[in-house]
Amino acid sequence: MDIFNIALKATFIDNMIFAYFLGMCSFLAVSKKVSTAFGLGMAVVFVLTITTPVNWLLQEFVLKEGALKWMGASFETVDLTFLQFIMFIAVIASMVQLVEMVIEKFSPALYGSLGIFLPLIAVNCSILGASLFMVQRDYTIAQATAYGFGSGLGWFLAIIALAAIRERLKYSHVPAGLKGLGITMLITGLMGLAFKSFIGIAL
Amino acid sequence: MKLLKNLFDGLKPQFEKGGKLEKFHTLYEGHRTIVFAPDITTGKKGTQIKDAVDLKRVMFTVVIAMIPCLLFGIWNVGHQHFISTGVEGSLVDKLLIGALAVIPILIVSYAVGLITEFVFCVVRQHPVSEGFLVTGMLIPLVMPPTIPLWQVALATIFAVVIGKEAFGGTGMNILNVALTARAFLYFAYPSQISGEVWTFFGDAQPVDGYSGATVLAYGASAAQNGTDMMADMAGHWYAGMFDFWNMFVGVIPGSIGETSTLMCLLGALILVGTGVGSWKIIFSVFSGAYLMGLLFNMIGGNSFLELPAHYHLVIGGLAFGAVYMATDPVSAAQTETGKWIYGFLIGVLTVLIRVVNPAYPEGIMLAILFMNVFAPLIDYYVVDANKKRRLKRATI
């Protein structure tokens, strides 16, 4: 129940986009078509679900103060927390590389349409954000996995909803100055208003 | 009529191409077509149009469907004033007091909204559309009667500019415009629009034991402090106020137009009868809310969760939102299957937010906005599923 709650909370209440504004760049840039947004969203869900527990292990057995105890008594006081950012990013980047290879093999069309944004998942702030939040909140490994999955799902929902809206927007008559990113920012704001429905629910 | 026709015909040359006021042509056309149909007719050959059900007529139908709610709202505002001050009042008194509170809000909403709309029409040279006739009526109906007028003006401008004109005007917005106005006020000036908003006017003294608490406030207190909601409702200072049938008729405090489920159903009859509103959406919102209520009954825990499911249909703004706002053809799902999903989820979310989320006493506003955001996505997948099904049937 606890794990389920954490995933639900990460999806709707603490949504990566609307509550923390993380991962905005690809959210705004790759939301022109639902099919592409769907692919990228799935990739983000996958990467988040894998990297959060891997980073948890890393944090717990390598980086944290006293985490290296298993190597012997002399390592008991070693604190490698200063390596946290670089280690987390290395894990994320290698995971993204893996996803990229899988997508290229199985869906060349999606690979083509995602273009530069697929490798850029490596620097998608929501992924590093989830790992850092997981450390900050002292989750267990199961909770961390649930949190990563929930965050990814929230991001996925947000981006496909935005993509569907933007596809419909093709028929509208947006003022020239607002076309493209301008109106997308406005939509994001209005979506945030709607997503406030869940903020405040205590799980 | 003759006089009006002469007036419009006399003004016409000035607004035509090359005339002095050519820039304002859209404004002229917009006003003329309120009384006279466009005088363009279809050619002798080719497609013939018999009945031009245009946006204007559709929008006026919605406005007419809202009139029962408005009139009842005006009376109810006066009625509640007399109840809470403990003074006897005649029907005329009640209507007068109500009108004094409601009409200014109505005027501000229409005046400010239409001016904004006209400015955009002239600058962007798109025809004046009638969308605002409905929005301008909906905005006052979802406001508490004590709302400051400048807030109404501000919210209207925000909703028309950001919610609608930025997307290109009527028919292109993604969120319901009236609800955008209300949500804007709700988050910007929460103290005037939520909580115990509904009171009496002027310096009158309230009766002993008076409190402005609404049913939803009792519910929120039941969910948080474990008070007994049914007992609270029965023990209200005005006996029988929160009786089921009294709430159905709508003689309870609340925002101006939303208290009466009966009047909303009357409006729904007009909307569905003329084919303007979708009965699928209205029906599925109610059934979603009812089923969610039943589910909460089964879970139980506090007296709000155990509130009989049919009560959920008459308290708060559920009926008003279901009939007039969820059915907004622009922001709702447009596929037939999509409408069922869309409406059902609105109902479910409304009751969910009402009961589980302590931050908001009522959920219908945010539930509709939330589903507005997801309506294009629902449509996308319904169309997609349709395509796949038909592809499977196709043989080459």
- Tens-digit pLDDT profile for residues A62-119: 888 877 777 777 777 778 888 888 989 999 999 888 888 888 888 888 888 777 777 8
The reply to whether A179 touches chain B by the CB within 8 Å rule is no
Q: Do the Cβ atoms of B367 and A201 come within 8 Å?
A: no
- Domain extent at residue B266: 215-252+260-396
> Which of B124-138, B234-248, B284-298 ranks highest by mean pLDDT?
B284-298
In angstroms, the CA B307 to CA A34 distance is 41
B144: in domain: yes
Residue in A81, A54, A56 with CA at minimum distance from that of residue A66: A81
Note whether B272 and B333 are same-domain residues. yes
Residue of B nearest to A180 (CA): B167
Q: Within this chain, do residues B375 and B226 fall inside the same structural domain, yes or no?
A: yes
**Percent of all residues in chain B with a pLDDT value above 90, rounded to a whole number:** 33
Q: Nearest CA of chain A to the CA of B172: how many Å?
A: 5
| Least confident among B195-199, B311-315, B382-386 | B195-199
What's the pLDDT tens digit per position in B175-198? 999 999 999 998 888 877 765 555
Instruction: Tell me how close the Cα of A167 comes to any Cα of chain B, in angstroms.
Output: 8
Same domain, B115 and B192: yes
The pLDDT confidence band at residue A162, using thresholds 50, 70 and 90, is: very high
Gyration radius of chain A's alpha carbons: 19
Q: Which of A124, A120, A153, A180 is nearest to A49 (CA)?
A: A153
Instruction: Tell me the pLDDT band of B202, cut-offs 50, 70 and 90.
Output: low
B169 touches chain A (CB under 8 A): yes
> Counting one residue from A and one from B, how many pairs have CB atoms under 8 Å apart?
90
For residue B167, list chain A residues with Cβ-Cβ distance below 8 A.
Answer: 169, 172-174, 183
Q: Looking at the predicted structure, is the pLDDT value of residue A54 above 70? A: yes
Higher-confidence residue of A161 and A1: namely: A161
Over residues B89-140, the pLDDT tens digits come to: 788 888 888 888 899 999 999 999 999 988 988 888 877 777 788 899 999 9
Cβ atoms of A152 and A22 within 8 Å: the answer is no
Please check whether residues B172 and B223 belong to one and the same domain.
Answer: no
Which range is least confidently modeled, B47-61, B148-162, B286-300? Answer: B47-61
pLDDT above 90: residue B338: yes
Task: Compute the average pLDDT of residues B243-258.
Answer: 83
The answer to whether residue B162 neighbours chain A at the CB level (below 8 Å) is yes
Look up residue B201 and give its two tokens: 């006017």
Residues of B in contact with A201 (CB under 8 A): 356-359
From the list B242, B236, B248, B234, the residue with the least C-alpha distance to B207 is B236
**Disruptive mutation site among A193, A195, A201 for chain B (greatest number of B CBs within 10 Å):** A193
A168 touches chain B (CB under 8 A): yes
The Cα–Cα gap between B253 and A7 comes to 39
| Residue labelled with tokens 């013939």 | B48
Q: Which residue has the higher pLDDT, A138 or B40?
A: A138
Among the partner-chain residues B167, B168, B376, the one whose CB lies closest to the CB of A167 is B376
Say whether both B143 and B231 belong to one domain: no
Q: What is the mean pLDDT of chain A?
A: 86
B299 touches chain A (CB under 8 A): no
Chain A neighbors of B363, CB-CB under 8 A: 197
Per-residue pLDDT at B371 exceeds 60: yes
Q: How far is A80 from chain B (nearest CA, A)?
A: 41
Minimum Cα–Cα distance from B169: chain A residue: A173
Q: B349–A190: do the CB atoms touch at under 8 Å?
A: no
> For the CA atoms of B211, B216, B218, B221, what is the dihedral angle to 10 degrees?
-120
Looking at the predicted structure, is the pLDDT value of residue B76 above 70?
A: yes
Q: Which of B174, B359, B380 sits opposite A34 (nearest CB)?
A: B380
Q: Are residues B269 and B156 in the same domain?
A: no
Rounded CA-CA distance A164/B334 in Å is 13
- Asked whether residue B194 falls in the same domain as residue B245, the answer is no
Q: Which of A167, A173, A196 sits opposite B168 (nearest CB)?
A: A173
C-alpha A120/C-alpha B7 separation (Å) is 64
**What per-residue confidence (pLDDT) applies to B34?**
66
Are the beta carbons of B73 and B141 closer than 8 angstroms?
A: yes
Q: Which helix (H) or strand (E) holds A102?
A: helix A84-106
C-alpha neighbours within 13 Å on the C-beta side of residue A114:
26
Instruction: Judge whether B47 lies within some domain.
Output: no
Complex ipTM over 0.95:
no
What integer is the mean pLDDT of B264-276?
90
Considering the entire predicted model, what is its pTM? Answer: 0.86
**Do B163 and B232 share a structural domain?**
no
Co-location of B364 and B386 in the same domain: yes
Pair B216, B177: CB distance under 8 Å: no
State the pLDDT at residue B320: 92
- B366 at interface of A, judged by CB pairs closer than 8 A: yes
Tokens 């006003």: give the residue. B31
Nearest to A174 among B167, B180, B373 (CB): B167
What would the mean pLDDT of A112-128 be, rounded to a whole number?
Answer: 81
- Asked if the C-beta of B361 comes within 8 angstroms of chain A's C-beta atoms, the answer is no
Q: Where are the alpha helices (DSSP H) in chain B?
A: 2-15, 25-35, 55-85, 91-124, 131-141, 149-158, 177-188, 190-193, 215-225, 229-234, 244-249, 261-273, 279-299, 309-314, 318-320, 336-356, 364-393
Position B12 in a domain = no
pLDDT-derived band at B317 (thresholds 50, 70, 90) equals confident
Question: Which of A160, A178, A190 lies closest to B175 in CB terms?
Answer: A190
Say if residue B270's pLDDT is above 70.
Answer: yes
**Quick check: A159 pLDDT over 80?**
yes
Indicate whether B268 and B181 sit together in one domain. Answer: no
Total domain count, chain B: 2
Q: Is B246 a domain residue? A: yes
On whether residue B11 sits in a domain, the answer given is no
Domain contains B139: yes
- Give domain status of residue B196, yes or no: yes
**Contact residues on chain B for A194, CB-CB shorter than 8 A:** 175, 366, 369-370, 372-373
Banded pLDDT at B288 (limits 50, 70, 90): very high
Residue B224 lies in a domain: yes
Do B198 and B230 belong together in one domain? no
B126, B367, B377: residue with CB nearest A161: B377
A170 Cβ under 8 Å from any chain B Cβ = no
**Closest-CA residue in chain A for B330?**
A168
Which positions in chain A touch B373 (Cβ < 8 Å)? 161, 165, 190-191, 194-195
Q: Does the pLDDT of residue B227 top 80, yes or no?
A: no
């962007």: which residue's tokens? B124
pLDDT digits (tens, 9 = 90+) for B6-60: 777 777 777 777 777 777 777 777 777 666 666 666 677 777 766 667 777 788 8
Same domain assignment for residues B191 and B308 = no
| Distance (Å) of CA B171 to CA A7, A120, B153 | 37, 36, 22
Residue A120 has pLDDT above 90, yes or no: no
Q: Rounded distance, CA B293 to CA B305, Å?
A: 8
